[in-house]
């Protein structure tokens, strides 16, 4: 462990060299596949412990080395009870293997739909855990940049299971004078300043948590349009509503909480620390009325597996962004000189 900080200058002492990973792990089944990696359920032969192993072919990393090295550097720094842990890293001649903590409780929306009873208080408890973990990241100068429901997993199948944040492929360390302006994230969850191609900060994560909280209380997203340009226009204006009848039984405190996070101006937007002190999280204003029927009905309708797990076609998104960039309706809000070919919308939620 003493050598863990020696990353500067390309020092890779934290990678363990291995000829054949299967001498140490028995691969069971594929848990997920992404753009350039595969996640496999694996049993460690020496201990019998189960892990999720992210297998990355080196040939797929050509030109993306910095991206994966970034993910590893971020993951190795963080230890939090609500964040999926990176246990080890192995390297063979052809592959990089990230040995990840196995979380077995399933995805957030699936579990909510399966419940028979679900309240604002349940949503508040979930969001508090997310805020706590993201506040920890922010305190370390790490911005997740791709918070969305698919990246929120339950630790185990038990009723009282904690929630875990996964997938740090787009995370970024805030450096001194290092301004983030790459448009990344997933459409529907990205903050206005990201789409506007303005420099942004950890406030983008707070916006995403606001969007997630909104969905947890009604079952549908605050921004939606079949046409991506119109969707982006809604987000840029922070144009959302608490529609009747879906929000009629939701407390004013919950709506205020969401408004504090989904604030268009990032300088006025609540930080994680402020959000953790909000009465809907820290107090007793979250209602205990069962809202399961309406929320689960909307979740089934709006987040059907075939729909919400569909990978975004990156080239199509870039095309939409170019169209948006050229659209006169946006005026000067988009930086005309931006290189939109660099935009990567994440579609790789692989740690499950």
Residue holding tokens 């890779």?
12
121 is in an annotated binding site: no
Q: Please state, as a whole number, how many other Cβ atoms lie within 10 Å of the Cβ of residue 82.
A: 18
**How far is residue 173 from each of residues 97, 104, 139, 291, measured CA to CA in Å?**
22, 28, 11, 38
Q: Hey, what are 254's tokens?
A: 């919950």
Task: Tell me the pairing of strands 184-185 and 344-345.
Answer: parallel
DSSP letter string, 249-307: TS-HHHHHHHHHHS-SSTTTSPPHHHHHHSHHHHSS-S---B-HHHHHHHHHHHS-HHH
What are 185's strand-pairing partners?
A: 345
Q: Dihedrals φ, ψ of 212, to 5°? A: -65, -45
Tell me the catalytic residues.
146
Is residue 211 within 8 A of residue 217, CB to CB? The reply is: no
What are 152's strand-pairing partners?
A: 165
Is residue 63 within 8 A of residue 57, CB to CB? The reply is: no
Gap between the Cα atoms of 187 and 178, Å rounded: 24
Residue numbers in the known binding site are 59
Residue numbers in the known binding site for ATP are 59
């Amino acid at each position: 462990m003493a050598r863990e900080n020696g990353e500067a200058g390309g020092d890779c002492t934290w990678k363990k060299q291995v000829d054949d990973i299967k001498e140490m792990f028995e691969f069971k089944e594929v848990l997920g596949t992404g753009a350039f990696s595969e996640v496999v359920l694996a049993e460690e032969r020496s201990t019998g412990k189960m892990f999720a192993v992210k297998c990355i072919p080196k040939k797929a990393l050509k030109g993306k080395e910095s991206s994966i090295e970034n993910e590893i550097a971020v993951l190795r720094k963080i230890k939090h009870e609500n964040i999926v842990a990176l246990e080890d890293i192995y390297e063979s001649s052809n592959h990089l293997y990230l040995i990840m903590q196995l979380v077995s409780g399933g995805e957030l929306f699936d579990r909510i739909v399966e419940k028979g009873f679900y309240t604002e208080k349940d949503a508040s408890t979930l969001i508090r855990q997310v805020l706590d973990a993201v506040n920890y990241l922010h305190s370390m100068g790490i911005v997740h940049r791709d918070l969305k429901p698919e990246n929120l997993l339950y630790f185990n199948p038990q009723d009282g299971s904690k929630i875990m944040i996964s997938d740090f492929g787009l995370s970024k360390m805030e450096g001194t004078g290092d301004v983030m302006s790459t448009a990344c994230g997933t459409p529907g969850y990205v903050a206005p300043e990201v789409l506007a191609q303005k420099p942004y900060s950890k406030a983008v994560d707070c916006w995403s948590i606001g969007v997630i909280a909104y969905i947890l209380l009604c079952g549908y997203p605050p921004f939606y349009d079949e046409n991506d340009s119109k969707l982006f226009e809604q987000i840029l204006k922070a144009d959302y509503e608490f529609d009747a009848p879906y929000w009629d039984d939701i407390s004013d405190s919950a709506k205020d909480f969401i408004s504090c996070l989904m604030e268009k101006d990032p300088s006025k937007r609540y930080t994680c620390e402020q959000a953790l002190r909000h009465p809907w999280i820290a107090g007793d204003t979250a209602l205990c009325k069962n809202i399961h029927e309406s929320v689960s009905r909307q979740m089934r309708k709006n987040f059907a597996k075939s729909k919400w797990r569909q990978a975004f076609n990156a080239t199509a998104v870039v095309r939409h962004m170019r169209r948006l960039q050229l659209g006169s309706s946006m005026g000067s809000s988009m930086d005309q000189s931006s290189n939109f070919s660099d935009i990567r919308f994440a579609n790789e939620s692989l740690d499950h």
